[in-house]
Amino acid sequence: MLNLTGKTLLVMDRTALAACAVRRARELGCKTIVANFYPTEDSPSKQIADVAIDIDISHTDEMLALIKEYHVDGIFVGWTDSHLPFYADICEKAGLPCVGTKEQFEILSNDKRAFKRCCETYGVPVPATYRLTMDFAREDLDKIEYPVIVKPADESGSRGIRKCLNEQELIENYTWLYHRSRSKKIFVEQYIDSTQEVFIHYTMKDGQYSLSSAFMKHRAQNENGVAASCLLHVFPITCLDHYRKVAEPAVLAMMKGLGLQYGAINFQGSLMGEKFYFYESGLRMGGEQHYVFGSVLNGVSTLDLMIEFALTGRMDSADLLALDNPYYSKPCVNYYVTLRPGTITSIAGIEEVEKMPQVLQNATFKKIGDTIEPSNNLDRVIYRLHVMDDTPEQLAKTLETISHTLHILDENGHEMQLEVVTYDRALDMLSNS
């Protein structure tokens, strides 16, 4: 049993995900400090921490003074890519354990161009890339085969991605993204026409890489009947053996070549036919929190290991390579309760849902009074539920029950769930993952 009594953990993330880490650290005996510039009412992690401090984490000297004042033993970042460079800098200057270097974070979390170049170096399959600048040179435009997607190099979570069917749409979307991007680095790449979006997660210990989980993403249908933001993450995936045969050797070679030693890393891509295409990664925890299932089914939690590493520089509390197993013995899902546009005025049923034995955890992202915009990203999600059952059929029935128990109403009294899940729809997603 991991016991970190007497240790002090600094968490720089503000989110509901970070609140899960704060809660777990406290269960393990740690004193927790959450530091960021968000007010406590906008920072779920601050609301449950032992100490909440308003500070800009980019002010390194102030962060170092805080670490000294509170005798901080380690720093946990978790899920926010933009925090990683500051995390690396602060850890280096404070002499605290860090799961990566600035260069590793740049390639694997903050610069999609650098990630793609790295993949190409090691033979990790990626979509074709097209050259384009704000000059919109005719010779560049003539080489592009449609459809393509454009996306900024400095965003994650499906934010900013636009599909373009022709040159006019490409120029319009490229220009819009360029003016809102901090880095001014915009990708134009082959559109992979596949609904089989796959996510691969490894946990790293002493330079050894353990495949911890793999899931497939299924999307809800938006108001126009096209794929919108996420509805289900389904664990495990049936194509896992195929991935390990055709793509994993190159992925492992890249991780080794980059010198990765400790931490968590995730890769996002698609399966089209027999070929995988990877287009994004994160040298951090994954937002789906696969460790919730891993701790129940395999007896090993990546979150516990990451907290342990932050405080000790080691991951000795669990035999990772022996226990970790992505071939989950029970079907599991992350159920994203995604909403239609409008203002949330009433919520009912969530307490009943949280008491269901199949529901292992709920992360809440929205509250009464929040307004949902008509986007296609995770900003539409109010709850992310970790749900596990004994068989696909039982899990499908459980998901239907959850969806029909929840009632989230807008200002006009209309149900806001983007898709009320039925048994047949749930079973179809579970059977095609």
Rounded Cα–Cα distance for residues 406 and 350 (Å): 6
Nearest C-alpha neighbor of 235 from the set 215, 208, 207, 258: 215
pLDDT of residue 335: 97
pLDDT of residue 1: 66
Using left for φ > 0, alpha for ψ between -120 and 50, and beta otherwise, residue 136 falls in left
Nearest C-alpha neighbor of 147 from the set 193, 187, 178, 197: 193
Nearest C-alpha neighbor of 160 from the set 420, 383, 377: 377
Task: Give the Cβ contact number of residue 203 at 10 Å.
Answer: 28
Report phi then psi at 52, rounded to 5. -120, 125
Tell me 415's DSSP state: B
pLDDT by position in tens, the chain (length 433): 688 999 999 999 988 889 999 999 999 999 999 999 999 998 999 999 999 999 999 999 999 999 999 999 999 988 889 899 999 999 999 999 999 999 999 999 988 889 999 999 999 999 988 999 999 999 999 999 999 989 887 665 556 788 899 999 999 999 999 998 888 889 898 888 877 899 999 999 999 999 999 999 998 876 565 556 789 999 999 999 999 999 999 999 999 999 999 999 999 999 988 999 998 999 999 889 999 999 999 999 999 999 999 999 999 999 999 999 999 999 999 999 999 999 999 999 999 999 999 999 998 889 999 999 887 667 889 999 999 999 999 999 999 999 999 999 999 999 999 999 999 999 999 998 8
Domains of the chain: 8-98 (3.40.50.20), 128-190 (3.30.1490.20), 197-431 (3.30.470.20)
- The model's pTM: 0.87
Nearest C-alpha neighbor of 23 from the set 295, 304, 224: 304
pLDDT of residue 111: 86
Helix ranges, 70-130 (H):
84-94, 102-105, 112-122
Tell me 106's DSSP state: I
Task: Give the Cβ contact number of residue 192 at 10 Å.
Answer: 20
Q: Which residues pair with residue 209 across a beta bridge?
A: 204
Nearest C-alpha neighbor of 99 from the set 206, 210, 21, 18: 206
Report phi then psi at 316, rounded to 5. -100, 0
Nearest C-alpha neighbor of 284 from the set 156, 99, 155: 99
Tell me 13's DSSP state: -
